[in-house]
């Protein structure tokens, strides 16, 4: 991936078993990502991050909607 994505973009951290996260910004040499359903941010190496596919985005957005319906996420 060349250059940082827009804040809020869904991306995949291939260095962490293809974990999907929300891009939050740049932290030194790393990119800050947050779990889609909330939780603790993590740092990823930019060369291990790629844009989420349409299927990955749909899965993540559905998981977030389900978590919101259960009151787990605001």
In this structure, what token pair is assigned to residue 3? 């250059």
Question: How high is the pLDDT of residue 72?
Answer: 87
Residue 2 has pLDDT above 80, yes or no: no
Token pair of 74 as six digits: 């605001």
Give the residue with greater pLDDT, 25 vs 3: 25
What are the structure tokens assigned to 66, written together?
């389900």
Residues 13 and 9: their CA atoms lie apart, in Å, by: 13
**Could you state, in order of their start, the residue ranges of all structural domains in the chain?**
10-69
| pTM of the predicted structure, to 2 decimals | 0.89
Q: What is the pLDDT of residues 13-62, one digit of tens each?
A: 999 999 999 999 999 999 999 999 989 999 999 999 999 999 999 999 99
What are the residues facing 43 on neighbouring strands?
Answer: 32
Do residues 63 and 21 make contact, with C-beta atoms less than 8 angstroms apart? no
């Amino acid at each position: 991936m060349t250059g940082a994505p827009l804040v809020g973009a869904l991306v995949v951290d291939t260095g962490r078993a293809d974990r999907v996260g929300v891009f939050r910004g740049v932290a030194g040499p790393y990119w800050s990502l947050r779990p889609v359903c909330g939780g603790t941010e993590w740092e990823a190496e930019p060369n291990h991050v790629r844009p989420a596919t349409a299927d990955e985005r749909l899965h993540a957005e559905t998981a977030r909607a389900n978590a919101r319906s259960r009151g787990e996420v605001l």
